[in-house]
Amino acid sequence: MDKFHQCLHGYSNKKGHHKIAASISLSRQSEQVMLSMSDRSGSLYNGFKEYITLYSLDSEKEYQYALAKTWEAREIRRPGCVWTHTILFTQKLKDIIQDLYPLMKYFRHPLEPDTVDASFYEKELGISDLEIKKNHDSSDSDRSKKQLIQACLNENNQEKPIVVRAKNAKEYEKLVFEIWSSQKDLTFCTGALSIREISKRPLRVQVVPKKINYRSDMYFINEHNQVIPDKSHITEKVKLFQFIDRLSDDDKVIDQIIQFIKKIVSNNSVFLELFEAAVNYIKQNKHYSLHEIDLFKAYIKYQSDFDGSLLNLSERTRQLYESFPKEAVDILFDNLKNSQELPKIICNGIARAIIEIKIGVDKKLNLLKSLNFFLENFADKNELQIDIQFFIDWQKSNKDIPSIIKLFKKYYPDKKKKKALKKAFLGSFEERTYFKKKNEEHFLLSAFAEFPKLQEYFDENDLLLKKRVKFFWNEVDNEKKKQLIKIVFENRCNELAKIMFSEIVRKIDTDTSKYFIFNQDLGPNKDCNKYLLKKIISSREEKFYLPILENVRQEDTELKQFLIEEFKLHPETPLEQHIDKSRLIIKQMIESGYNVNELISINGKRQILNIIKQLDIELASKKFGEIADLKEFDIIDFFNHIELSIEAGSFISDIKWTEIAKIIHDGNSEQKNDLMLYFLTVGFQHSHSQLVSTAFNPVCAALTNKEFESSTNWKIFQSKYLEKNFFSRKNYGKQLTNLDYLHFNLFKLFSEGRLKKVYFNDIIIEKKLLEKYFLRFQHFYKIKKYKKIYKFIFDVTQGKL
């Protein structure tokens, strides 16, 4: 048997308030709690010079209950010092102790004559078994106060202490002990000079002197037996307790109590609270024998008054069946046809207990048997739901799908059973705790993909497949995902697998797609990869494209070919719409070694511009050779974007441009003229830039003189740069002589009214001077030498002089 330990605290000049002696050493945390609990409970008050405290030391494993007596130490000069003798006992002893009162005589004041010295407290305390088991006569205690305190203790709010005002610490000592005897988890102090708490949790019952007043964080019981605040039906409870005390022990106790409660309250929630308080009160005071079975009978009899969800029935039904099997079965069969909710829950609970206990839950055969049993017996008789617990257990123990399919085969034609089966099978996966077990979900999904027969019994709505896949995908690691993809792929002809596969594709994000497609483990023949790739491309979400293209390298010709063909099947790829986004993709592709044809077929024609932009100089000229070679390639599309490609154009050598221009010029395109014009216009508009030498010059080279003059003369006036280029470059000078240039300059000078001078090979020709000299020319007109010049100028200026 466990022994009692003890401890003495007190004050000394040397050490202050400290532990003087102890028969046991406790953890540091407990020592600290004891140090503060053994000190004075508050400021001094007459009548409270000795008091008892009972508290628990939560950090202790063995000796966790402390019963302490505190005396004011008048022997010590310094006021406010105390002696405290603490008796420590275990949980076991707590259960054995009937009453605390007999223990009181074991408390020793340290200065009592028979307490020799501190060594007394260093030994274990010898208390005889007789004393422990003694029951104190409690007839003279204050009944109504006790009921009041018990009613308060019945309140749900555990944080609020019950504070009882008293004349002195002795007044309610016996009363508190009595309450403790019936409720042994109680903590208390019979002389709380201030509200006592251990790490902010107050002792439950505290007897206080008059000077302490009501605060909102307590239930306060004053001298007139009034409880403040009285909002929590405490008075009703006291009335109820009084009524219970008056009852005699017979079968109808519960009926009488329920009738009484109904009389005093109307509200349903209060009813339950009071009923539970009454049950607790009866159990604590042991007035009558109250069996669980009686309570269940009462629940069913007065079912409309009880709320099943608050009664914690699932555990209690099992306990009920264990302790009263006969009666429980009676309840079950009496109420099988009862369609009310509460009896249903109770019946279901009992039925489950029967199967679990009678048939057992361990072996797989037994489980199937019990399921059979359940379907045979209960699914028919009323609409009892099969308890999901079976399937959960079944899952734990085995994963025998074929036998489940057999079950389905057997019971599926029956509508009610079918419903129950489906619900049970799926319900077992719905259970929240099992949702966390990723294996289970994976198992369910693969079960559906793998067993075509199982699919016959379910449709998509039953399964919430999309939700499941989504959940699964978020929770599990890549290995599991891979397994699922494999299984789903292998069964891709099944309807459910198809749905799952498309859902998987939707769930794959950019990073994981890389993992799944290019991981060689996914499928030996890359079929799965291709299938997944196909699905992804047909989903037309551009976020996948980059990782895909990044990973399909030049050397993997098979996959690349597949990819190109796949893209061709879906010509309106999102790449065409999102020019900016596809830039990266194109770059990636060029690096991977795609040729222009492939680039264009994958990315779409509009992306040519981007292709140009991504090419480096050397590569660009190469590629443009290829572009130029593309006869079928709609070059007008290309020039639609030429305006934007100025930067790109600058990379390309003149020769290439000339080639392009020649191709255009020599070609039979109907739009040829328009195209050339357009080409030139663009060239002129950007004549300040390099394009003059790139776009314009080759066109000039390709055009004949007449063609050129007819359309472009006027444009050259506007740009000195263009002009210089046009006339000074040797390669075009073949057709255009200096005379042409002079002709051009004079024409320009006289056709543009604002111009006052022009530059011609470093010679400044001024309008005014020329006019002056022209008049002189008239005199020379007859001379042959100048006649030609005169005519030339006259022609050029169109007789304006």
Interaction site with other proteins (CB under 8 A):
11, 13-18, 28, 35-36, 39-40, 42-44, 77-81
Could you tell me how many residues make up the chain? 801
CB nearer to other proteins: pick between 13 and 304: 13
Residue 273: φ, ψ to 5°:
-60, -45
Q: Give burial (CB, 10 Å; 0-12/13-18/19+) of 144.
A: exposed
CB nearer to other proteins: pick between 36 and 731: 36
- The set of residues, in sequence order, having a beta carbon less than 8 Å from that of 343 and lying 6+ positions away, is 300, 303, 335
CB nearer to other proteins: pick between 69 and 146: 69
- The set of residues, in sequence order, having a beta carbon less than 8 Å from that of 685 and lying 6+ positions away, is none
Separation between Cα atoms, residue 765 and residue 725, nearest integer Å: 19
What residue ranges in 488-556 does DSSP mark as E strands?
none
Q: How far is the CB of 210 from other proteins (least distance, A)?
A: 15
Q: How far is the CB of 465 from other proteins (least distance, A)?
A: 54
Placement of tokens 């008892």 in the chain: 52
Determine the residue type at 639: F
Q: How far is the CB of 194 from other proteins (least distance, A)?
A: 9
Q: How far is the CB of 228 from other proteins (least distance, A)?
A: 20
Placement of tokens 């204050």 in the chain: 142
CB nearer to other proteins: pick between 41 and 614: 41
Q: How far is the CB of 339 from other proteins (least distance, A)?
A: 59
Determine the residue type at 407: L
Q: How far is the CB of 38 from other proteins (least distance, A)?
A: 8
Q: How far is the CB of 137 from other proteins (least distance, A)?
A: 37
CB nearer to other proteins: pick between 199 and 248: 199
Q: How far is the CB of 41 from other proteins (least distance, A)?
A: 8
CB nearer to other proteins: pick between 200 and 768: 200
Written as one string, the DSSP assignment of 142-177 is -HHHHHHHHHHHTSS-TTS-EEEE-SSTTTTHHHHH
CB nearer to other proteins: pick between 20 and 342: 20
Q: What is the Cα 780 distance to its own chain's centre?
A: 101
Structure tokens belonging to residue 582: 């596809």
CB nearer to other proteins: pick between 34 and 149: 34
CB nearer to other proteins: pick between 36 and 510: 36
The partner residues of 462 in beta bridges, in order of sequence, read: none
Q: How far is the CB of 53 from other proteins (least distance, A)?
A: 13
Q: How far is the CB of 24 from other proteins (least distance, A)?
A: 18
Q: How far is the CB of 188 from other proteins (least distance, A)?
A: 17
Separation between Cα atoms, residue 210 and residue 217, nearest integer Å: 18
Long-range contacts of the stretch 620-623 (C-beta < 8 A, 24+) = 620/648, 620/651, 620/652, 621/651, 621/652, 621/653, 621/656, 623/596
Residue 433: φ, ψ to 5°:
-65, -30
- The set of residues, in sequence order, having a beta carbon less than 8 Å from that of 199 and lying 6+ positions away, is 33
CB 238 within 8 A of CB 147: yes
Separation between Cα atoms, residue 668 and residue 266, nearest integer Å: 100
Q: Which residues of 661-689 are buried (b: 16+ CB within 10 A; e: fewer)?
A: bebbbeeeeeeeeebbebbbebbbebbeb
CB nearer to other proteins: pick between 42 and 427: 42
Q: How far is the CB of 76 from other proteins (least distance, A)?
A: 9
- The set of residues, in sequence order, having a beta carbon less than 8 Å from that of 395 and lying 6+ positions away, is 428, 434, 440, 443
Q: How far is the CB of 124 from other proteins (least distance, A)?
A: 23
CB nearer to other proteins: pick between 211 and 720: 211
Kindly state the helix (H) or strand (E) to which residue 773 belongs, with its residue range.
Answer: helix 767-780
Structure tokens belonging to residue 765: 């020709």
CB nearer to other proteins: pick between 78 and 800: 78
CB nearer to other proteins: pick between 12 and 761: 12
Separation between Cα atoms, residue 365 and residue 10, nearest integer Å: 69
Structure tokens belonging to residue 50: 């000795």
